[in-house]
Chain A
Amino acid sequence: MTPPPMEKYECLSGIYWAPLGPIVQELWLGETDILLRLRQGYAERLKRFALKDVHCLTFTGTTTGSVISLISALACLTFVGLFLIARSADAEDSVYLTGVGALISAMILTVNVALGPTCRCHLHTATHAQRLTCLSRSRRARRVLHTLARAIDAAQSERTQEQTTATPGDNQPKFSP
């Protein structure tokens, strides 16, 4: 019983390092399957989806990123306002506190804007719909879905050709590959 070779997988979603972290999901692409690695604490579970079994991939834009930006911008403005008031009143402790608050909220805003808009992606097979939580930002998600779509198309067009050779006149997809 030899396991499939390990070197053939390519990480698509970036590697997360979470020594004390919550559930982390990673997406790996193999020659014949997509591997979803789920880490919860220090345990690691795997889900495999054969490329030839994938029916569709879905991409849905969400407003989560905009909401985070809005809240952090409001927080930043509030802290800056309080900072100015504290400075004019010569309250030294409040100046530091509001300054740090403004800095943190500005950092959150900057990072969120840099990461771009948010989204939700799903992978559908005949029996299962798997949410790809590791693809939560549109830019990366589109890039990864494009790579996945190419791999899935290649795997399924090979299979279609095999079927054509084996049983001529069998049901064929009605679109150009």
Chain B
Amino acid sequence: MGTTFEIACGKCDHAVAFASEERLLDVVCPHCGSANEVFLFPALWRPMAVERGDRRQSEAESSCFFHESKRAATPCDRCGRYLCTLCAITSGSDTVCAECLAEVLADENIPAPTREYFRYDQLAVGIAVLSSLFWLIAPLTVWVVLYLVIRHWNTRMSALPINRWRFVVAGLLAVLQLSLAAFLLLDNFTGVLE
């Protein structure tokens, strides 16, 4: 038997210890008795790699801008300074130094890497559907929906590919409600329907 590993039981969250070198195994929780199927991957056995930066072997080698004794591994994609493996930060497809990353995060003109988005398209279609069900609020909500559609048509709303069909549906519903309200109002004055 090899090294002992520990996982939380999928049902009761109690720690379950096991020792195995098999890739796929059944681990029974001693607390609740439920069977956990566990798929193990090579990373579990791999020793944790800690980046420390390689030392320079000779004066001829380029050194890291921030650590003179470390060997340069890559240049910063923004400022061009040489960086060791410890200082190089991967952001998207770029490698940057900590100073450039801080500059990017501080600069409002450059979009900062974000982990949170707001779905204006879902909000717009939600309001449009709601106002279709409750006619009394439609005269107010129509304008909100149209504002959301026009203002946020080009706003990035997800890190993943999405299309704008919700905006189209919301816009069409809003225009329909507006047209219907205008028609009813007109009829009230002119009696077109009669």
Chain A interface (Cβ < 8 Å from any Cβ of B): 1-4, 6-7, 9, 11, 17-20, 28, 35, 37, 39, 42-47, 52-62, 119-122, 124, 126, 129, 145, 149, 152-153, 156-157, 159-160, 171, 173-175, 177
Using known A-B contacts A56-B40, A58-B7, determine if residue A43 contacts B119 with beta carbons closer than 8 Å. Answer: yes
Asked if A122 and B40 make an inter-chain contact with CB atoms under 8 angstroms apart, the answer reads no
In residues 88-108 of chain B, which contact A (Cβ within 8 Å)?
A: 91-94, 96, 104
Question: Which stretch (B45-53, B79-87, B183-191) binds chain A?
Answer: B45-53
Please, which residues of chain A bring their CB within 8 A of the CB of B41? 54-57, 149, 152-153, 156
Fill in one digit per residue for B119-136: 1 if any A CB lies within 8 Å of its CB, else 0. Answer: 110110110010000000
CB–CB A44/B22 < 8 A? no
Whether A60 touches B125, Cβ cut-off 8 Å, given contacts A54-B41, A152-B41, is: no
What band does the interface of chain B fall in when counting residues whose beta carbon is under 8 Å from A?
A: 35 or more
What's the minimum C-beta distance from A165 to chain B, rounded to whole angstroms? 15
Residues of chain B lying within 8 A (CB to CB) of residue A47 = 115
Distance of A11 Cα from B160 Cα, bound (Å): 10
Docked-complex contact B21 and A57, CB < 8 angstroms? no
Which residues of chain B come closer than 8 Å to A46, judged between CB atoms?
115-117, 159
The answer to whether A2 and B126 touch (CB under 8 A), given A61-B34, A174-B2, is: no
Closest to A45 in B: B116
Q: Which of B8-16, B54-62, B138-146, B172-180 contacts A (4 or more CB under 8 A)?
A: B8-16
Considering only CB atoms, which chain A residue lies closest to B120 in the complex? A42
Q: Are B116 and A3 in contact (CB under 8 A)?
A: no
Is B160 a contact of A6 with CB atoms below 8 Å?
A: yes
Chain B, Cβ-Cβ closest to A62: B11
